[in-house]
């Protein structure tokens, strides 16, 4: 039977790769260079591949070394976090919810999606925004409990994740006072004359808006495109142009940004989903986010 994998050997390799040489790694580990070198050679023998090769006065990773280093990074970065995780777990009672927020989800919608858990007295909410693909990778590594997205997870045999519907919102068009009078009387044809702000294709709703404009026979006068929905709203509210947004956040837009609804983007909707690693959701706070509570 093959000997079990030795994580101590992997750790020594990781330090050598981080430090760029045996001597610096030995200093960091407070060990003899020969001892560190022997441990790395043992790992290479176990794996069957050379992981390091000399370059100049130091060492660089081979292709096998790069692959090994990627896994070692995941393992030991998590290990370095362990003391803080344990300390936090015993310092105060809390219910932890780590949420990934896809950059295509409007910021004002996020608060609405998370509202069902906000009354949890011991809630510790960890919110992390990133691109969709990066969040799915974090979810697969169990660094996140759930990802909020405007699109379902793609089918991937190597990535076991499940998409759960949270709701759907119609899309309306909004304008500051500087443009509302000119736009509201001639909607939607006004979109060819007044300046228009749009989300970029980071947002799943952008192709639907483009298709709607094409059906209306309108070539919009686009003066700005924004990956960040909060920036889009901010510039729109300051008069840069009219803009589309989820009807779900209309009350906030009118109250906080003093904009007006100038028309409806008929047939266009934004879809919001919770993506997790379980088909049947087990995390109690994630269960609360789902409309039917138990998919």
Answer whether 0.85 is exceeded by the pTM. no
Question: Burial level of 220, CB count in 10 A (0-12/13-18/19+)?
Answer: buried
Q: How confident is the model over 161-193, as pLDDT tens digits? A: 899 999 999 999 999 999 999 898 899 999 999
> Do the two domains 7-89 and 93-167+273-289 of this chain adopt the same fold?
no
pLDDT of residue 91: 66
Distances (CA, A) of 13 to 29, 38, 43, 72, 73: 11, 10, 8, 9, 11
User: Which pLDDT value is given to residue 253?
Assistant: 95
Euclidean distance between CA atoms 163 and 154, whole angstroms: 9
- CATH homologous superfamily for 93-167+273-289? Periplasmic binding protein-like II (3.40.190.10)
**Ranges of each domain in the chain:** 7-89, 93-167+273-289, 168-270
Structure tokens at 225: 């495109």
- Distance between CA atoms of residues 226 and 232, nearest Å: 6
* Domain 7-89 bears CATH identifier 1.10.10.10: yes
pLDDT tens-place string over residues 49-107: 999 988 887 788 999 989 998 888 888 878 877 887 777 667 666 788 999 999 889 98
pLDDT in tens, 12-50: 999 988 888 898 888 988 899 999 999 999 999 989 999
Would the pLDDT of 2 be above 80?
no
Q: How far apart are CA 250 and CA 180, in angstroms?
A: 15
108-165 pLDDT, tens digit per residue, is: 999 999 999 999 988 989 999 999 988 998 998 888 999 999 999 988 756 788 999 9
**How far apart are the C-alpha atoms of 30 and 23, rounded to whole Å?**
10
Residue 212, pLDDT above cutoff 90: yes
Contacts of 273 (CB under 8 A, 6+ apart): 148, 149, 150, 151, 152, 163, 164, 165, 166
Contact present, 246 and 106 (Cβ < 8 Å) = yes
Domain spanning 168-270: CATH 3.10.580.10: no
Q: What angle do CA 13, 73, 21 make, to 5 degrees?
A: 35
């Amino acid at each position: 039977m093959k000997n079990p994998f030795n994580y101590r050997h992997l750790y020594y390799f990781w330090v050598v790769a981080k430090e760029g040489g045996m001597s610096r790694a030995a200093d960091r580990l407070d060990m003899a260079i020969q001892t560190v070198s022997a441990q790395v050679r043992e790992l290479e023998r176990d794996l069957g591949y050379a992981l390091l090769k000399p370059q100049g006065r130091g060492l660089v990773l081979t292709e096998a070394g790069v692959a090994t280093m990627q896994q070692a990074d995941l393992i030991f970065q998590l290990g370095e976090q362990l003391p803080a995780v344990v300390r936090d777990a015993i310092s105060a009672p809390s219910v932890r919810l780590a949420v990934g927020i896809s950059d295509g989800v409007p910021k004002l919608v996020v608060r609405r999606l998370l509202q069902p858990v906000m009354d949890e007295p011991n809630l510790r909410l960890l919110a992390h925004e990133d691109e969709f693909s990066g969040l799915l990778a974090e979810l697969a590594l169990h660094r996140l409990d759930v990802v909020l997205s405007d699109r379902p997870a793609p089918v991937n045999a190597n990535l076991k994740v499940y998409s759960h519907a949270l709701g759907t919102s119609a899309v309306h068009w909004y304008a500051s006072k500087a443009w509302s009078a000119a736009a509201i009387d001639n909607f939607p044809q006004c979109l060819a004359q007044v300046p228009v702000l749009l989300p970029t294709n980071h947002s799943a709703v952008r192709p639907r808006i483009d298709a709607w404009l094409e059906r209306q026979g309108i070539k919009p006068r686009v003066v700005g495109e924004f990956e960040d929905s909060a920036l889009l709203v901010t510039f729109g509210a300051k008069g840069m142009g009219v803009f589309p947004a989820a009807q779900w956040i209309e009350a906030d837009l009118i109250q906080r940004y003093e904009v007006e609804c100038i028309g409806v983007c008929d047939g266009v909707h934004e879809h919001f989903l919770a993506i997790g690693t379980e088909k049947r959701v087990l995390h109690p706070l994630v269960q609360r986010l789902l409309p039917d509570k138990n998919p």
